[in-house]
Structure 1
Amino acid sequence: MIIRDATPDDAAAACAVLRASIIELCEADHRGNPEILGRWLANKTPEIVAGWADGQGRSLLVAVEEETILAVGGLAHPNEITVNYVSPQARFRGLSSAMVAVLEQRAAGLGAREIELLSTETAHRFYLARGYVDVGTPAGKFGAAASYPMRKTLLTR
């Protein structure tokens, strides 16, 4: 498995991973509510995802194994993780952890001393276990159960 910068040609496959992960793995957040899912998925189209891969103030990364995209991560420069989703069939293989590590390295390389994100209910424990702390009051995003503002201090050398 390698993690690399996404290209616009990766958009359709990356979009499919984002959508499947949200629909199948984030049940605790959307609770099967079609209105919440509709709002959450509205910007998960190949055209929009291709735009995220333009490198203009952001990075879009993909984890690839044998030509198949298994995870997608995004960073708004210099220090905000915007997406971190794994394909349902690749869950529990360490891809999300590897992606977060690469996103943190990218942020540090851009001069960030901290990294922040808005976690789903589904991923909240995952981020806590990786050293992130809650930094604000949880609020629903897209009408979902809760979104947790989180932050982590990056190690600098």
Structure 2
Amino acid sequence: MNDSDCCVAGKMYPTYKCSPPLSGNTKAYLTLNSFEKNGDGGGPSECDNQYHNDNTPVVALSTGWYNNGGRCHNHIRINGNGRSVVAMVVDECNSTEGCDADHDYQPPCPNNIVDASKAVWKALGVPEDNWGGLDITWSDA
């Protein structure tokens, strides 16, 4: 587990249908996810109903940016920690629902998230102790 937050019974969580507008360098918050079977991501990826190895640079985007699957298998460029990496969009970080088995009992995703595999964090050169949250920018690759 990557120390994912679990929902608190009775707590209401904000939900979002939209994400911030896209620009050449869209600000976002990078989070850590495992897209492997039995990983933090819960079920298989939305785009292809498959699991993905932690050593593959893949990401999930907040609902608005995910665009009903319109970005599936597209590549995005992530800039952070003075480096850049290209990753493939394979999943949605759902901003409209959460707190159930499909979402690993995690709260709904904020609307500005790029949820990335370990390979993305490694490529950005972030020390493992600091994995979990990083201010980044991203654009279509």
Same fold (TM over 0.5): no
Greater relative CO (CA pairs within 8 A, separation 6+): 2
TM norm structure 2: 0.29
Bigger share in helix? 1
What TM-score do the two structures reach when normalised by structure 1? 0.27
